[in-house]
Structure 1
Amino acid sequence: METEGEIEKKEAAMAAEEEEKEEEEEAAVAGDVSLQELSKKLNDFAKERDWEQYHSPRNLLLAMIAEVGELSELFMWKGEVRKGLADWDEAEKEHLGEELSDVLLYLIRLSDICGVDLGDAATRKIVKNAVKYPAPSKGGA
């Protein structure tokens, strides 16, 4: 039989665990989430549903392309869209966020399945692009 002190310790541990979980959810909602955190969430999501068997590089790529198509549909026939989407209503902006998220999530999952550290690869690509496309020099010297 557990003592009162042991019960209090367990309750405190459970409360701390719940608080940590809430903080993680708040961070994700606030947009302060890393690629690694998203990757873990996607991996857990797939495992819980036994979807790993379907997540081959080819299948993930095709799913991502389909999502890019859905994203494209939001811009179709709108002409040039101004930065900030001032002419879009909130429902359109929310839908855009969902489609952008679908593309991002498939990209992260694809990179994981292929064994590519997406954050590292993107950082290295930015450095390569800076060398390939140097900024114009300022001043006349």
Structure 2
Amino acid sequence: MNTKLIQDRLAQFSLERDWDKFHAPKNLAIALSVECSELLEEFQWLTEEDSACVMNDPDQAARIRDELADITAYLLQLAGKLSVDLEDAVLKKIEKNAAKYPVEKFKGSAKKYNR
């Protein structure tokens, strides 16, 4: 994914509509949370087995793709506003997690790290 290209397209879309004034980091973070909740709504009350098959229903699959796109768009806009290089941030977080959750201690375990 070319995040810079998408961020530029989102910024242009917002600029053309004079929406940038509404895109303070706080507002983008709230919008991101709302979109995540809308994605969760698609999975509410499903069994684990049903949740693994949601993309088999074309209507539900379309809604899930739309929610994932909304989440990604708001995340990219927020990262842009805060000058966060998401690729760098994710790679550094993977390194932190690798140190925090060494394979020999956590392989096959869902336990959360305790200090």
CA-to-aligned-CA distance 1:70-120 (integer Å, 9 cap, x gap): 111100111214575267411111110110111111011011111111111
Give 3-state SS (helix, strand or coil) of 1:59's partner.
Answer: helix
Residue identity opposite 1:101 in structure 2: A
Percent identity (aligned) = 36
Which position in structure 2 is the counterpart of 1:35?
Answer: 3
CA-to-aligned-CA distance 1:9-58 (integer Å, 9 cap, x gap): xxxxxxxxxxxxxxxxxxxxxxxx31111111111111111111110011
- Residue correspondences, number: 105
Using CA pairs below 8 Å that are at least 6 residues apart, which structure has the higher relative contact order? 2
State TM-score, norm by structure 2. Answer: 0.81
Instruction: Tell which structure's C-alpha radius of gyration is larger.
Output: 1
Question: Which of 98, 102, 107 matches 2:75?
Answer: 107
Show structure 1 runs of 5+ residues with no match. 1-32
Which position in structure 1 is the counterpart of 2:89?
Answer: 121
State TM-score, norm by structure 1. Answer: 0.67
Residue identity opposite 1:104 in structure 2: T
Q: How does 1:1-141 map to 2 (within 5 A)?
A: 33-81=1-49, 84-85=52-53, 88-136=56-104
Tell me: CA distance 1:87–1:45, structure 2 relative to 1, closer, same or farther (3 Å). closer
